[in-house]
Structure formats: structure tokens, C-alpha cells
Chains A and B, each alone.
Chain A
């Protein structure tokens, strides 16, 4: 299949368009069926693509046969395909959940959901910096509409912040790209990585400004410390399936930092080597700390989960700042774990909130739930995985990360923060669980039950955690190979640009 690498982008696009057309347009059951079938196919395609990239090496898809570095390319290597698979699995879970009736809150839920996935997949797969911007916009505009899906004061309020911040972010992205194009004369990421070594003096300073502007933009998406204030409110006010899908969005920022700042501004960049690290390391650690404080200070379960997203973003950014193969491999494992589990937690928080009547997800004494056992077991599994207790995937992820910090100075900073952060999450989550499940009045809250679709969605996402431990060996093989591929300059850069074009400027 020569066209396999572009399918993760085309499938959601075509499905999204079909969903807007007659046989599906006005009938919810047909829309759901088509969306679910498409999601299923997407998971299979992503799985095949990962297998292909794993066994046959990086797949380079040259759009319109315009040879790199001139045309747009898609790069399906181990990292990008792994993240595409992650996106589709998360998407499938969130979609199943939404089919229980959450998609009725406003029009065009399913098409928008598809376009969002298309943007995320595109951002992962593209090998062109401007194309990355375009896919960012695709996923953003879908997310703007999804965020206010269902309506309500809170959503409008947080959407206003989110949209304005991201519009400023987009402008900065373009400024950064303009500067980089002006100095490097190329937008193909691999080609930029080759050319950046030749810069010196004034040009190098300009390129540095461009690179740091991009770091600012990706930091905004990934919720790096001073730029993360929008996240808790936005994520906690979004409707459950949307919030679950949004769990992947911070990872898009993290991935872009990985692409741009370890490839282009990596160790091989001459004068501009590792420009992002002096910022990323302390800010990542601070994000981790602030996120943990946010977790313990949250008055509600949704806000707590949103703060857990900040914690995971901080952990990931710190791991990337270590700039080693081992740390990046560990970060990749942690991305898979944290995205799926925080996604599940958002869904679970909504289920819990709906069965508690007026108290919703706030941590106060309230009426008992209709199905405390089912939700309780799910909550315990989720909480254990997030906190990082054995035997679930959070434990493996955190161990891998802590092992990756090899130098003593790194250990001194990283270990206490990860461990204390974990402890704070444990305290906060057990307090939340105790309040929600045990401090109840005798009366049952509502008659609402968990819908089979909802159960299936949450089940898929939570089951990922034990599966990630059971197949931990295979998975860490892939992640460590993916990281090796990224840090091997000849594989991640030189192989992607035809040798004949070098020195052609």
C-alpha cells in the first residue's frame, strides 16, 4: 500500500465530509454508524501503518510527487505512527462514549470530531513546518467549535479565552515560521535541520529568535508553565467526550517540540544546538510542581483531571529536556499511558457527575450514586494508573522516566518532583474517591444508569493500562527504537532529503 501514510488524514476528512451530506446529514443513528465504522477502520489503518514503519522503516510520502525539499512530505516514522495509533484509539473510545447521547447537544458533532482527528493526525505525520501550522489550524478550529458544543455560560466564557489565546499563538507561529524561512530558505523539517548548521552571526541570531518563538507557541499548546492557565478551565468546562479527545492536544504541542527542537535545533545544529533546553528544563519542572499543587487544590473531579493533564505535560516536557534517547523513549511510553488514562478519567468524571444529582463532580457530601460499584472499580483503576502505583502502566512509565535521568544533577531535580507529585495526586485522588463514594446521604441521586456505549468507551481506555503493562516488552522496544531513530541524525534527517539537492542553494 503506497498510499498508506496519507490514509490517517484522508479517512477522517472523507468521513467528515460524508457526514455532512444527505444520507447521513439529519439522522443521528446513521451518523453514529458511519462514524464508528470509520473509527474502527482508522484504528486498523494506524495499526498497519505502525507495523509497516516498524518493520520496513520510515515511510516517506511525497504529495503530488514534488520531490523534497520542495514539496510537502508526510513522514511516517515510528514516533509519528505510534502517536497516530494513540490518537485513533483515544478517538474510538471518546466516540463510543459520545454515541450514548452526548452528540445531540449541538449540530455537527460527528463531523467536527472527525476534523479534529484529521488535524491531530496530520500534525503528527507531516514533515513540513508550514504544513504543521495548517494542521494546527485544522485541529484548532474544530476544537473551538467542539468546545462550545452543548452551550452554556461556562463554555462560552472559557472558549473566549481559549480562542483568543490560540489566535495570538497562531500569529506567533507564523512570525516564527517567517523568520525561519527567511534565514533557512526551506520549510521541510529535515532540510531545515541540514541547513541550520551553516548559519552563523546575525542569521543565526535571527533563526534563534524564530526557534524560540516556535517554542513559545508549542509551549502554549503543551501547557508549559506560564502559558498553562487556560487549560484547567477549558478542559473542565468542555463536554466529556470532547475533553477526553482534548487530552491528545497537549501532546501535539509536546510532539512538535520533539520534532522542531530536537531535530532542527538539536545537537547537530552547530551554533544553535539545543537552544530550547535552558528554557524547557526549569519550566517543565515548574509545570510539574504547579500542576501537582493544582491537583490537590481542585474542588471538583473534572478540574482535578485537567490539572493532572498539566502534571503529565510537565513530566513529558522535562523528559524531553533531558535530550537523551532513553528519556525520549520513556516519554513516548508515558505519552501513551497518560493520554489514554486522563481521557478515561474525563469520561468517568462525567459519569460520576451525572449520577450525583446537583452536587455534580464537586467534592462535597451528596446523594449516593445508582451504580457505586461499577464506577468505583473504574475510578480505582484509573486513579491507580494515573498516580503510578504498580501494577498499572503509570508505574512502568514513571520508573522508565526516573531511570532515564542519569546524571546526578538531573536526578536531584527530577526524582523528588515526580515522586512528590505522585504522592500529591495520590492524596488528592483518594480524598476525592472517599468523598464521592463514601460520604453520601442514604437517598439515591438520580435514576441515571451507565449506557452500554458509555461503558464500552471507558472500558477501552482503561483496559489500555493493563494491556500496556502486559505487552510492556514489545511496547518499550518500539518506543526505545523510535527514540533511537529520532536521535540518529542519518535516519531522521539525512534519509529524508535526497542527497542531490544538497549545496544547491
Chain B
């Protein structure tokens, strides 16, 4: 279980970082979302992975650490709010700046290509 879990967290993080490094806002937002998923899973695992263990004392033979679950909950809520904000900001950026590049302007090569297609 630990292996699969670690692999999933690693894959999500790798995809998140890859997408966050892209030039356009949409992939960046998706990348940030993936990164926050990875973080949530990771935080959950910081209380060790256990099967058949309730987070309440006396309900099962073993008990799971309840604190990471509370932390994950907080992190999910905050992450959700932040994602909503960055989506709105990206849309506003698209409207204000006229393109969806994170720098607010297209790199020169792309701008030239677009001008060429417009001229045709």
C-alpha cells in the first residue's frame, strides 16, 4: 500500500510541477490544483497509513492519528478557496491583458506567428 500511495503522491507532484511551469494560465491553474491534491494526500500520510483503524479511541484495536485528518481538512478548504481565486484572477487577466499568458504578453515568436496568421 505504501508503495502505491507514495507513487501516486509523487506522480501528482511531478504532473503538478510540470503543468505549473507552463506558459499559459489554464495549465498553471490545473498544475496548482494537482499540487494541492498531492499535498493533501501527503499530509494525510504524515500520520502513518493504517488499515482498520478509526480515528477515535476505543472504536477499533488500533487507532489512527486524528490530527493529520484535521490538517487535511483545513488544507482542502484553504486550497479550494485559493483555486477559486486564481481561476477568477486568470479570467480577469485574460480580459484585462488580452491573452492568457502568465506574463501578460505573448513571447515575441508567438506574437509574430499570430500576426502572420492574422495578416493572411
A interface residues (Cβ-Cβ under 8 A, vs B): 130, 134, 137, 141, 144, 148, 151-153, 156-157, 159-161, 163-164, 167-168, 170-171, 174-175, 177-179, 181-182, 187
Contacts and interface: CB of A to CB of B under 8 A. Distances in A.
16 contacts: A141-B82, A153-B96, A156-B89, A157-B103, A157-B104, A160-B25, A160-B93, A167-B82, A167-B86, A168-B20, A171-B36, A171-B39, A174-B75, A175-B42, A178-B46, A182-B46
A7 B42 CA distance: 34
Contacts of B89: 144, 148, 156, 159-160, 163
Contacts of A178: 39, 42-43, 45-46, 68, 71
Nearest to A162: B89
Contacts of A151: 96
Contacts of B97: 153, 156-157
A148 B39 CA distance: 28
Interface in B47-78: 47-48, 67-68, 71, 74-75, 78
Nearest to A180: B46
A181 B93 CA distance: 38
B92 interface: yes
Main secondary structure of the interface of A (DSSP, over half): helix
Contact of B71 (A130, A148, A175): A130
A178 B39 CA distance: 9
Interface centre among A148, A156, A178 (most CB of B within 10 A): A178
Contacts of B7: none
Main secondary structure of the interface of B (DSSP, over half): helix
Interface in B89-117: 89-90, 92-93, 96-97, 102-104
A130 B78 CA distance: 13
B107 to A, nearest CB: 15
A130 B43 CA distance: 11
Q: Which 3 A-B pairs have the closest CB atoms?
A: A157-B104, A182-B46, A178-B46
B46 A160 contact: no
B102 A156 contact: no
Given A134-B78, A157-B104, A174-B43, A164 B68 contact: no
Contact of B86 (A134, A148, A164, A177): A164
Given A156-B92, A160-B90, A163-B89, A168 B42 contact: no
Contacts of B102: 160-161, 164
Interface size class of B (residues with CB under 8 A): 35 or more
Contacts of B79: 170
Nearest to B71: A130
Contacts of A163: 85-86, 89
Given A156-B97, A156-B104, A168-B32, A174 B39 contact: yes
Contacts of B45: 178, 182
A187 B36 CA distance: 20
Contacts of A137: 78, 82
B101 to A, nearest CB: 9
Contact of B67 (A144, A171, A174, A181): A181
A134 B70 CA distance: 13
A229 to B, nearest CB: 12
B35 A168 contact: yes
A171 B35 contact: yes
A176 to B, nearest CB: 10
Nearest to A134: B74
A130 B39 CA distance: 14
A156 B86 CA distance: 11
Nearest to A168: B20
Contacts of B38: 171
A134 B75 CA distance: 9
Contacts of B78: 134, 137, 170
Contacts of B67: 181, 187
Nearest to B32: A167
A168 B34 CA distance: 11
A168 B33 CA distance: 10
A146 to B, nearest CB: 13
Contacts of A168: 20, 32, 35
Contact of A181 (B36, B68, B85): B68
